[in-house]
């Protein structure tokens, strides 16, 4: 009987863990229902100094790449573990302003429209501050390069030799097309070149200038991309940049995951059905995440919401229909997001909400956190707390409701920005000048699935 009782207990615990819950570590009632708050260790809010723990999903799933946070314990690009929060916030705001500029211009294509507006997802003055990178092999023989991936950009590019203009410093050796037997420049007569900046000796030339005036310029080309030993893609269109400028923090370039025709998912539709997913590890963790192409390994617990073409055909639009803080639903009406809409973005760090919505979220959050000592704000963030001397802290659960009945409860790492133990801030900001943006801090540890062909984005807990 004792053995049977223990077995049944294990089954019950397993079932509870599989319940629809996005707050990792959220406290549950005996019935398994997620409570309105959960308690976490204060030490878990800050970077771990322990060694890197690879994601089991990235290593066990076909067509899956390891994702690391630029400032995390698993990053090989930075020898300095210190995080410059001022710089991250500044770069993130530059990206947000660039998104707004891009939408206001209502441009029609990536290669030309991005010349003055597009900002990718990586820590770099040019790229905003998304901070998530993968390693891909380019060429024959393959040359492994670290690229920041971005759902807000289409064209994949890397720095190339020779640097005819200028090149920024990167960690790995630059890609040399003359050393690859499979490299081909794209002709100006190619349909893929119709939106290009110019031609040079009948070869297609691309040019992208980001919102902060950083840029990449070079030849549109085709090349072999090696994702894993069993996933090799032929004739992938990419930018071979021979004139590049900006602070890219050691990455070699960008992996474009946007909805446009030049993005890697769009180019590999016949192989991966224009489906990809990722899990973003928190920079405070010592683990990796994954970027997976195709439907392999997607959890059955994924809940989907439709992709909206509003506010932009250049980003993945979503419809936010509700937000709750603890046991309180915010007073969100159909008009709360109707003017500018909302997007989900891997490159924007902190979620931006309409000012009135953010003000109510902040008010309820403060009410739920009234037992903790408040302190001064930090940059964009006006709601901060001093956790000095505390071992644990209890947060109210924050959940987003999307069209289609999908409810996403945020992980503990998706609620706060830890500047220092005496200054831990609510990681949301208000802004009325652009669409609401569901940023990557709020996406951490979730399995986020982009079924572009099916016109939907999905979420599941414990994705890494």
Which H or E run includes 43? none
Is 20 inside any structural domain? Answer: no
**Which among 249, 271, 292 is the end of a domain?**
292
What are the tens digits of pLDDT across the range 339-350? 778 999 999 999
Which among 210, 205, 279 is positioned nearest to 446, based on CA atoms? 279
Distance between alpha carbon 420 and the CA centroid of its chain, in Å? 24
Which range, of 83-87, 140-144, 340-344, averages the lowest pLDDT? 83-87
- 202 φ/ψ sector (left φ>0, alpha ψ -120 to 50, else beta): left
Residue 121 is predicted with a pLDDT of 27
- How far is the C-alpha of 11 from the C-alpha of 5, rounded, in Å? 10
What are the tens digits of pLDDT across the range 387-427? 999 999 999 999 999 999 999 999 988 999 999 999 999 99
Instruction: Judge contact between 412 and 38, C-beta under 8 A.
Output: yes
Specify which residues 37 forms β-bridges with. 396
Mean pLDDT score across all residues of the chain: 83
- Which pTM was predicted? 0.86
Give residue 123's pLDDT band: very low, low, confident or very high (50, 70, 90).
very low
- How far is the C-alpha of 306 from the C-alpha of 454, rounded, in Å? 9
Regarding whether 67 and 41 lie in a shared domain, the answer is: no
Regarding whether 277 and 328 lie in a shared domain, the answer is: no
Regarding whether 445 and 349 lie in a shared domain, the answer is: yes
Residue 402, domain CATH: 2.40.70.10
**Which among 245, 269, 292 is the end of a domain?**
292
Regarding whether 330 and 279 lie in a shared domain, the answer is: no
Give residue 211's pLDDT band: very low, low, confident or very high (50, 70, 90).
low
Q: Which residue segment(s) compose the domain that 270 sits in? A: 61-104+121-292
Residue 447 is predicted with a pLDDT of 95
Highest mean pLDDT pick, 49-63, 116-130, 142-156: 142-156
Give residue 31's pLDDT band: very low, low, confident or very high (50, 70, 90).
very low
What are the tens digits of pLDDT across the range 271-310? 999 999 999 998 777 889 999 999 987 888 999 999 997 7
Is 116 inside any structural domain? Answer: no
- The long-range contacts involving 295-302, CB below 8 angstroms and separated by at least 24 positions, are 296/61, 296/62, 296/63, 296/64, 297/57, 297/60, 297/61, 297/62, 297/64, 298/447, 298/449, 298/458, 299/447, 299/460, 299/463, 301/18, 301/20, 301/460, 301/461, 302/447, 302/449, 302/458, 302/459, 302/460
Q: Which residues are catalytic?
A: 150, 345
Radius of gyration of the chain (CA): 22
Regarding whether 336 and 352 lie in a shared domain, the answer is: yes
CA dihedral 129, 160, 172, 158 (to 10 degrees): 30
Which range, of 106-110, 175-179, 208-212, averages the lowest pLDDT? 106-110
Is 54 inside any structural domain? Answer: no
Which range, of 110-114, 230-234, 332-336, averages the lowest pLDDT? 110-114
Give residue 126's pLDDT band: very low, low, confident or very high (50, 70, 90).
very low
């Amino acid at each position: 009987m004792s053995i049977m009782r223990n077995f049944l207990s294990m089954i019950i615990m397993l079932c509870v863990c599989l319940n629809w819950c996005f707050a990792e570590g959220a406290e549950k009632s005996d019935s398994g229902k997620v409570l309105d708050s959960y308690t976490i260790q204060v030490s878990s809010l800050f970077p771990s100094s322990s060694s890197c723990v690879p994601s089991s999903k990235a290593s066990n799933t076909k067509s899956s790449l390891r994702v690391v946070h630029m400032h995390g314990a698993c990053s090989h690009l930075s020898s300095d573990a210190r995080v410059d929060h001022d710089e991250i916030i500044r770069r993130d705001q530059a990206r947000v302003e660039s998104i707004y500029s891009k939408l206001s211009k209502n441009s029609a294509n990536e290669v030309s429209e991005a010349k003055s507006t597009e900002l990718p997802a990586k820590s770099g003055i040019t790229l905003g501050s998304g901070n998530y990178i993968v390693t891909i092999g380019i060429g024959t023989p393959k040359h492994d390069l670290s690229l920041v991936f971005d759902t807000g950009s289409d064209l994949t590019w890397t720095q190339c030799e020779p640097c005819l203009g200028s090149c920024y410093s990167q960690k790995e050796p630059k890609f040399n097309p003359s050393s690859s037997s499979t490299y081909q420049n794209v002709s100006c007569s190619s349909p893929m070149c119709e939106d290009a900046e110019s031609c040079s000796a009948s070869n297609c030339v691309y040019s992208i200038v980001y919102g902060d005036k950083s840029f990449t310029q070079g030849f549109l080309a085709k090349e072999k991309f090696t994702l894993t030993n069993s996933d090799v893609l032929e004739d992938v269109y990419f930018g071979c940049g021979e004139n590049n400028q900006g602070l890219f923090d050691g990455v070699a370039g960008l992996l474009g995951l946007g909805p446009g025709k030049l993005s890697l998912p769009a180019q590999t539709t016949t192989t991966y059905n224009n489906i990809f997913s990722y899990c973003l590890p928190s920079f405070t963790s010592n683990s990796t995440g994954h970027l997976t192409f195709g439907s392999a390994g997607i959890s059955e617990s994924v809940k989907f919401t439709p992709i909206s073409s509003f506010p932009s055909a250049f980003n993945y639009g979503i419809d936010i229909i509700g937000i709750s803080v603890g046991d309180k639903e915010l007073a969100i009406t159909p008009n709360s997001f109707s003017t500018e809409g909302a997007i989900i973005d891997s490159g924007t760090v902190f979620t931006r909400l309409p000012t009135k919505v953010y003000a109510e979220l902040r008010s309820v959050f403060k009410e739920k956190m009234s037992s903790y000592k408040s302190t001064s704000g930090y940059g964009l963030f006006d709601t901060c707390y001093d956790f000095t001397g505390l071992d644990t802290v209890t947060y109210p659960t924050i959940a987003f409701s999307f069209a289609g009945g999908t409810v996403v409860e945020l992980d503990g790492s998706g609620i706060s920005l830890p500047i220092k133990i005496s200054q831990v801030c609510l990681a949301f900001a208000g802004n009325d000048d652009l669409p609401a943006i569901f940023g990557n801090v709020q996406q951490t540890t979730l399995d986020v699935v982009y079924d572009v062909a099916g016109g939907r984005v999905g979420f599941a807990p414990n994705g890494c």
